[in-house]
Amino acid sequence: MRSIFFLLMSGSILAGLAACSNETSKTLPILGSRDPVTKVVDGKTITDTLYHTIPDFELLNQDSTLITNQAFEDGVYIANFFFTHCPSICPTMQRNLLKVYEKYKGDKRVKFLSHSIDFRHDSPSVLKSYAEKLGVTNDQWQFVTGSKASVYGLADSYMVYTKEDSNIPGGYDHSGYLLLVDSKRHIRGAYDGTNDEQIQLLFDELAILLKEYE
Amino acid sequence: MRRNTSLHVGAALLSIYILFHACQSEQAIRTAQYAVNGQKLYGMHCQNCHGAKGEGLGTLYPPLTDSTFLITHRKQLPCIVKNGSSSPIQVGGKTFNTEMPPNPQLTPIETAYVLTYIGNSFGNKMGIFTIEEVQQALADCR
């Protein structure tokens, strides 16, 4: 009887330890290409890794204000690409992102950045009306527009496929990924915004990433 | 003789009763078939905006759970599905004025399928939309 008790005790302690170490050791990878750079520091030659980084940007938001990377550098953010009259994947993607927004509403560590790929139609006022109708009531979630070159170029660095295509309903083809970006502009996760399991993974991994800022 | 008459009457009543129930269940089966076909079409053409549970999205896309709206607009529903909608509408106490794109590729029978699905899901109980009803409604579209 006693030995069984000890066995159970030690078993549960081990399980507890394993669970704890799993929790604390899990960090998210940095996605994208990486380049080794060799430099000389204090007379010694060291090799460092240069990770894929979101470049500088300057885009017009739903209040017609120019925003830059600065708006996102004191926390993490989730970026995606959409357009307001998109009849296909965008509503599902935005419905799912809205769930994340609602959970973290008021938590300034988490921000949201939706880029419109319809540079012809989605002016700031169109984006403003869209944001209000979606249910976005504060500046934690920015909706931005810019020149085709700047937005489509950014999509490439977020590793999101975007293309104008008149054969596609709505006129633009793009992938519905949600990108989790940290304060150093590194992409830490990519999730299919139309897939419920991937959205759950985003919730889980966002919580893991936020631990780095505690 | 008298016994025979009452037997005949009884048999006649019984067969009417059976026939009635057979028809009713046939109707229920047909409604279920339409709804199953409609569910697939709903997933392809409607779900992105109106949601898997017909919940809509904010005030961008109206929910399909307002039974009163659906019942009072029954005759317009085939037209909305086929031709889209561009005028503001009141659903569930909110105003929606996002343009709904048309679905010109949907045939009348497919429209009947998808409306039967919507009309008997998400808490709605509208019964079957027959192809005749849909064709009549489409002929009357404004």
* CB atoms B60 and A133 under 8 Å: yes
* pLDDT < 50: residue spans in chain A: 16-21
* Whole-number Å distance between alpha carbons of A204 and A201: 5
* CB atoms A91 and B59 under 8 Å: no
**What does each C-alpha distance from B19 to A60, A86, B33, B64 come to in angstroms?**
69, 50, 21, 35
* Whole-number Å distance between alpha carbons of A67 and A132: 19
For residue A182, the model assigns a pLDDT of 96
The number of CA neighbours under 13 Å toward the Cβ of B126 is 31
For residue A137, the model assigns a pLDDT of 95
pTM of the model: 0.82
Q: Is the pLDDT of residue B35 over 80?
A: yes
Closest Cα partner for B49 from A89, A211, A101? A89
Q: Is the pLDDT of residue B54 over 70?
A: yes
* Whole-number Å distance between alpha carbons of B97 and B89: 7
Residue of A nearest to B101 (CA): A87
For residue A33, the model assigns a pLDDT of 87
What are the b/e assignments for A184-196, b being 16+ CB within 10 Å? ebbbbbbbbbbee
Sign of the CA dihedral with B31 first, then B32, B33, and B39 last: positive
* pLDDT classification of B13: cutoffs 50, 70, 90: confident
d(CA B94, nearest CA chain A) in Å: 11
First to last CA, chain B: 63
Q: Is the pLDDT of residue B98 over 80?
A: yes
Closest Cα partner for A202 from A20, A28, A24? A28
Sign of the CA dihedral with B32 first, then B38, B42, and B46 last: negative
The number of CA neighbours under 13 Å toward the Cβ of B110 is 14
* Whole-number Å distance between alpha carbons of B44 and A177: 20
DSSP state of A69: G
B58 vs A contacts (CB less than 8 Å): 98, 133-135
**What does each C-alpha distance from A2 to A9, A11, A103 come to in angstroms?**
10, 14, 47
B101 vs A contacts (CB less than 8 Å): 85, 87, 169
Residue of A nearest to B60 (CA): A133
A window 84-123, beta carbon within 8 A of B: 85, 87-92, 94-95, 98
Q: Is the pLDDT of residue B125 over 60?
A: yes
In this complex, the residue of B47, B51, B58 whose CB is nearest that of residue A134 is B58
For residue A48, the model assigns a pLDDT of 87
Residue-range domains of chain B with CATH: 26-139 (1.10.760.10)
d(CA A93, nearest CA chain B) in Å: 9
For residue A214, the model assigns a pLDDT of 87
d(CA B117, nearest CA chain A) in Å: 20
The ipTM of this complex is: 0.78
Closest Cα partner for A115 from A158, A168, A65? A158
d(CA A90, nearest CA chain B) in Å: 8
pLDDT tens digits for A46-97? 888 889 999 999 999 999 999 999 999 999 999 999 999 888 899 999 999 9
* CB atoms B51 and A95 under 8 Å: yes
Query: Angle at the Cα of A191 (from A186 to A197), degrees rounded to 5?
Result: 145
* CB atoms B99 and A134 under 8 Å: no
A89 vs B contacts (CB less than 8 Å): 48
* Whole-number Å distance between alpha carbons of B60 and B50: 10
* CB atoms B57 and A94 under 8 Å: yes
d(CA B58, nearest CA chain A) in Å: 5
The number of CA neighbours under 13 Å toward the Cβ of A5 is 2
Query: Of A48 and B60, which is predicted with more confidence?
Result: B60
Enumerate chain B positions whose Cβ falls within 8 A of a Cβ in A: 47-49, 51, 57-61, 98-99, 101
